[in-house]
């Protein structure tokens, strides 16, 4: 099995964003003033398919919402994570079961234990970067 790696280079980030189509947004808030909503809305406007993952929500940004990653039945390129770093491990285990290409922890979110687990399972990891900022910087 291919080992994943921690992604830090602009060229690698650009490649991930150019190659990805489907992004599960973990912790997506239904509130328009929240960072997760603003980022997901931007990604959707850029042509990505957004899959909201937020318990107790039926729909966010016009997309069906799921209670967990494991409920998603289609393939996911990126799991974009808006969760407290201390809450990442259970989601890392879930991600390993659905096998996205990339597990992306948003700005100010880092969990090295989760990153090690994910990369050993062949999943690339981005930590402490905002996917919207990176996309805007590298493509606009």
What are the boundaries of each domain within the chain?
10-80+89-107+122-139
pLDDT of amino acid 114: 98
Give the residues of the chain that fall short of pLDDT 70: 1
The CATH number of the structural domain formed by 10-80+89-107+122-139 is 3.40.50.720
Do residues 25 and 39 make contact, with C-beta atoms less than 8 angstroms apart? yes
Span 72-105, pLDDT tens digits: 999 999 999 999 999 999 999 999 999 999 999 9
Confidence (pLDDT) at 2: 80
């Amino acid at each position: 099995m291919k080992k994943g790696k921690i992604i830090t280079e602009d060229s690698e980030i650009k490649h991930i964003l150019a190659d990805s189509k489907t992004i599960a947004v973990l912790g997506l808030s239904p509130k328009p003033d929240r960072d997760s909503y603003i980022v997901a809305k931007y990604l959707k406007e850029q042509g990505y398919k957004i899959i909201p993952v937020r318990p107790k929500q039926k729909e966010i940004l016009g997309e069906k919402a799921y209670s967990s990653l494991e409920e998603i039945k289609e393939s996911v390129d990126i799991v974009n994570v808006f969760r407290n770093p201390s809450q990442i491990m259970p989601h890392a285990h879930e991600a390993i079961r659905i096998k996205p290409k990339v597990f992306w922890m948003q700005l100010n979110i880092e969990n090295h234990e989760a990153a090690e687990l994910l990369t050993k399972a062949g999943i690339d990891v981005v930590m402490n970067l905002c996917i919207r900022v990176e996309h805007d910087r590298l493509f606009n």
